[in-house]
A and B are shown apart, each in its own frame.
Chain A
Amino acid sequence: MLIINCPYCGPREQCEFTNGGEAHVARPSDPEKVSDKEWSEYVFFRSNPKGIYFERWVHSHGCKKWFNAVRDTSTDKVLKVYEIKDEKPSLADLENSNLTTPSGEPEVGSGNFTVRKI
């Protein structure tokens, strides 16, 4: 169970939070002007990368505020937490995540290091 640093309440256990899916998915400012495809992508499609992922959390059993986080999905390390109103951080701003391979498999922390190619 992760420890997530709520920008308003401080570090708390993951059970107090609810994951809110991908962050920075903009709602089209004029829904009437977008095509069915564009609108459906906003409603239904979210990316699912292995590695750096920008996501939202809400402190549902705490202050009930929404905020953003950057998490390495292969190790579950939360690299940064920032407020909903803040700009999307650039990769350079982030703590050193140990992504090394093209597929995003870090040497330490993903738990899959034992699987070797023979």
Chain B
Amino acid sequence: MSAKDNKDSPYIAFHQSVKFTFDGVKYKGFKGDTIASALIRNNIKIIGRSFKYHRPRGIYTCGIEEPNALVQILSEYSEPNTRATVKQIYEGLKIESQNRWPSLENDLSSVNNLLSPLFSAGFYNKTFMKPRGFWKKVYEPLIRKAAGLGKPPKPFKTKSTQLHHHVDIVIVGGGLSGLLAAKSLAKTKLKVLLIEQDSYLGGILKNSNKISTIESKDRASWIKDVETEIEYSKNIKVLKNTLATTYNYINYLIAIEDLTTGMMPLEGHADQILHKIRADHIILANGHIERLISFRNNDLPGIMLAGSFEKYIQRYGVIPNISPVIFSNNSSSFSLIKILIDLNCKPQAYVDSRSGDKIESSLLDIIHKENIPLFTNAHVEGCDGKKQVEEISIRDSEGIITKLKSKMLCISGGFNPDVHLFTQSKGVLTWDDKYLTFKPSKSFQNTIVIGSAGGLFQYSKLANDIDSKLSFLNHEPIVNINFELNESDNYSIEKLWETKHEKKSRWSKSFIDLQNDVTTKDLRQGIREGFDRIEHLKRFTTNSMGTDQGKISSINALGIVSEILNKKVSEVGTTIYRPPYAPLSFASIAGRSTYNFYDPERKTSIHEWHKKNGAVFENVGQWKRPWYFQSYLEENLDQAVQREALQIRKYAGVLDGSTLGKIEIKGSDALEFMNLMYTNNFSKMKPMSARYALMLGEDGMIMDDGIISKINDNHFIATTTTGGAAKVLSHMEEFSQTEWPHLNVFMNSITEQFCTFNISGPKTRLIMEKVFKHIKFDNESFPFMTFNNFTYLDSTIRILRASFTGELGYEIYVRPSIALKLWEDLFRFGKDEGLIAYGTETMHLLRAEKGYIIVGQDTDGSVTPQDMDLEWMIGKSKKDFIGKRSLTRSDTIRSDRKQLVGIKPINQKNIIEEGQHIILSSNVKPPVKMLGHVTSSYMSPNLGHSFGMAVIKDGKNLIGSRAYVSSSSRDAYEVEIMKSVFIDDENKRLVS
């Protein structure tokens, strides 16, 4: 009883053989074969082992709804859980079956099948809890090994790309209904996109024998003619090998296109396109899916859905078995029987659960004519066999069992309109009592459902269905199509979800969800244990939770549950269908935003100079900033920072501060606005002077800080931290637009319009005088915290006298086009004075020695200005500013708030670590009261010892006393709490 080729199928290139390997054995198929059809051709029955019980499994269907035939593709990046029924073979393809060891034939884990009475529903929720220590050491490692179906994939760099579409109409499905809809839209002005998951258009026309002729043409010719018509129309685009996976809001369709169908994907080349489609209207013509019937051992290899069996014959040119037994509860088998007869095969028997008077005469006729054994009002009770179907037990209406020796059983439990996308679109379903399935009823979005996807199973009504639903689009009406059918136009079905078992043994299994090994017994047990809501029952049993989402069985489960609960199926409801419709790789979702395109790398205009001069970079947000400069190749961070810090306090150093935000604020109400945005009072500031300012949130916490330069009452320039630049600008815009729109004030970001150089150190003045010969830098002409505009190389630059290091210093703002020239000039004149470039780490160290806070380092969104000893920055006479009121909340006036202090280790050899807790005593017996933590910590070459900044409860009152810094790796060590300024606390250097 082996498989036989059907050379009539035009979709298989029988002259082109393709060699591939399955579980190490070489096989031959044809171009156009899927792995499944090629294996069927080679009479391979077992394709994998099931998830829990490791039962042998075979190919069950012929499409994306496949629950069993999941394989690992070794020749690419070892992708697991690939559907053998969809993946086309190519020369050299290497495939491995899953979930078995050591081999498919002999899987040791099939002992799970013997132990199966223990693995009932809710198994995952009830086991592996005790003894407690066992989880980490025993259970988890074991479960990790046993979990999943395949093995994790390997890295393989193909290019996944994405494409955005904006169209008027999308038609999902290039089958009979989809093609008719497209044809009718061909001459309109609407932009249409037709998506088809297979490599060929046609759907039921090419996948089955149900339609003999259409519009008096044979199927293949009709499809070809429509395809040509679509090609010539200017407005319709067709995407093949493209599967719509997600229907989002608003009319947003995600579809995945496979560019390497039947080919080996190549590294560095595009293999997938993720299509992101916005459409005014989406027409769902995605057809229907056949469902199974539950009976004893309905998972044995050799059992296949009847429609899939027919699809293998028509679409893939292979008859899996020349004399199958067919078992159905509906009228759809005629076309299968007919094609078998036409190909000189003959079904071994036909079993119909309906009584003889309910069966179509055409079906009875062909059965009698061909002398096919007929069983009506009968069920398949079960199947038996060692690793595959060998015997089928049929029970008639009187209970008499007939056993047939057979290796193939085709089953059909009815059809479900494929409602996944429709329900993803948040449309409502309704139960159809005639067809015993759910079908779309009310749409939520602009969704139109046509054909069988909408629950229409009568060909004679199709033209009217499409015409009535598309008329508002001014399409070309179809009016009428003449079909010659190989089946009844009156699809009829009788309810049958499960047949009764004859034997009642602990090991007799009637499956509902094949992929997750869920049996009908599990459903009953779940309901007995109280999980009678369908969403709960699903999670408890894991029914329909596999990668196939229970496509061929989930409605059956609802049917069974409704019978147990004695409720209508519509009352039981369905679980929520979640995207994606079929597994989607993360690579396709990431698209191009991987590797070097993961995040933009922002660089300043001086970046190349930094690179050439030994900079080691760190990421500050998206920016690359010099972290430190290596004066020789092996110099590490600590060595460089010690060197840089000494050099700057002795001579001079320059930091590229271009990444810090700069905002220009202007308007007739600019002063009032700035007073509201910051804590400081800018009213009395002289023009051309600058001030360090704090910005709070409405909760009173420090949000950002910067230097505000006042040009005049109507014109300010504010700086921000690097990370806060965008946030501060948005914050200003928010309050200006939503809270105080009556204030005339505007803000422009000028972060990118200027480069900023921070030069400081005792030799700075000397260097500046050499570079800018015409500018006076003495204290009288250029006081501390003042600024002015000057000309340099025919460009306007601004120089502000300010410094973050506590040394005499200046900030130079210069246009990018001449920035590098100026930087190089600084070094040309400054090198002999000892000028060096320094990075962010040294900057952190130097400012800490002065007790200057860094927002985001010493603050974390939960500290007020008072906490940071910056109360002096609050403009006392200001009536209101953002955050002011919050500073007098009961929480913010607490005396035991954490306050900023400095700490110094008693033993100078100790190095304090950032993040360490401050505790009262060195006796570290839990519970230990935490007084605070270390926010910044450095080894200072200028002080000769390490020091830190910390926030400690009631810190101001603890200055002078001792505390301990705890550490997980060693004993706590003693520190002295002091003021946070360690160097030049009278600021003599700044104003020198």
- Tell whether any CB of A sits under 8 Å from a CB of B in the complex: yes
Give A contacts to B, CB under 8 Å. 1-3, 20, 27-28, 31-32, 34, 36, 39-40, 42-44, 56, 58, 60, 64-66, 75-76, 84-85, 107-116, 118
Known contacts A84-B738, A107-B442, A108-B442; A118 and B565 CB within 8 A of each other: yes
Q: Which residue of A lies closest to B729 (CB)?
A: A64
Most chain B C-beta atoms within 10 Å of own C-beta, residue among A42, A65, A84, A114: A114
Report Cα–Cα, A112/B442, bound state, in Å. 14
- Enumerate chain B residues within 8 angstroms of A76, measured Cβ to Cβ: 249
Q: Does B607 contact A (CB under 8 A)?
A: no
Q: Which residue of A lies closest to B574 (CB)?
A: A114
Residues A109 and B444 in contact, CB atoms below 8 Å apart:
yes
Q: Does B168 contact A (CB under 8 A)?
A: no
Q: Does B599 contact A (CB under 8 A)?
A: no
- Enumerate chain A residues within 8 angstroms of B443, measured Cβ to Cβ: 108
Residues A58 and B730 in contact, CB atoms below 8 Å apart:
yes
Q: Which residue of A lies closest to B882 (CB)?
A: A27
Known contacts A75-B444, A109-B444; A65 and B567 CB within 8 A of each other: no
Report Cα–Cα, A44/B452, bound state, in Å. 52
* Top 6 A-B residue pairs of the complex, sorted by shortest distance between their CB atoms: A31-B885, A109-B444, A114-B573, A116-B573, A66-B737, A109-B426
Residues B737 and A84 in contact, CB atoms below 8 Å apart:
yes
Q: Does B433 contact A (CB under 8 A)?
A: no
Q: Which residue of A lies closest to B577 (CB)?
A: A114
- Please name 7 pairs of A and B residues whose Cβ atoms are closer than 8 Å in the assembled complex, sorted by A: A60-B730, A108-B443, A114-B573, A114-B574, A115-B535, A118-B533, A118-B567
Residues A108 and B427 in contact, CB atoms below 8 Å apart:
yes
Report Cα–Cα, A84/B534, bound state, in Å. 45
Q: Which residue of A lies closest to B249 (CB)?
A: A76
Most chain A C-beta atoms within 10 Å of own C-beta, residue among B249, B567, B576, B730: B249
Residues A3 and B427 in contact, CB atoms below 8 Å apart:
no
Residues A43 and B567 in contact, CB atoms below 8 Å apart:
no
- Enumerate chain A residues within 8 angstroms of B278, measured Cβ to Cβ: 3
Residues B576 and A114 in contact, CB atoms below 8 Å apart:
yes
Q: Which of B444, B730, B738 contacts A56 (CB 8 A)?
A: B738
B181 to chain A, nearest CB (A): 24
- Enumerate chain B residues within 8 angstroms of A75, measured Cβ to Cβ: 426, 444
Q: Does B130 contact A (CB under 8 A)?
A: no
Q: A32-B885, A44-B699, A109-B444 known; 6 other A-B pairs, CB under 8 Å?
A: A40-B889, A66-B734, A66-B738, A84-B738, A110-B426, A111-B576
- Enumerate chain A residues within 8 angstroms of B471, measured Cβ to Cβ: none
Report Cα–Cα, A32/B881, bound state, in Å. 11
> Interface readout for B208-233 with A: 1 if CB under 8 Å, 0 if not?
00000000000000000000000000
- Enumerate chain B residues within 8 angstroms of A58, measured Cβ to Cβ: 730, 733-734
Report Cα–Cα, A42/B697, bound state, in Å. 13
Q: Could you tell me which residues of chain B, from 275 to 291, have a CB within 8 Å of some CB in chain A?
A: 278
Q: Does B779 contact A (CB under 8 A)?
A: no
- Enumerate chain B residues within 8 angstroms of A31, measured Cβ to Cβ: 880, 884-885
- Enumerate chain B residues within 8 angstroms of A27, measured Cβ to Cβ: 739
- Enumerate chain A residues within 8 angstroms of B136, measured Cβ to Cβ: none
- Enumerate chain B residues within 8 angstroms of A64, measured Cβ to Cβ: 730, 733
Q: Which residue of B lies closest to A23 (CB)?
A: B738
Q: Could you tell me which residues of chain B, from 132 to 155, have a CB within 8 Å of some CB in chain A?
A: none
Q: Which of B426, B734, B741, B885 contacts A39 (CB 8 A)?
A: B885
Report Cα–Cα, A3/B885, bound state, in Å. 38
Report Cα–Cα, A58/B741, bound state, in Å. 15
A13 to chain B, nearest CB (A): 8
B558 to chain A, nearest CB (A): 10
Q: Could you tell me which residues of chain B, from 881 to 897, have a CB within 8 Å of some CB in chain A?
A: 884-886, 889-890
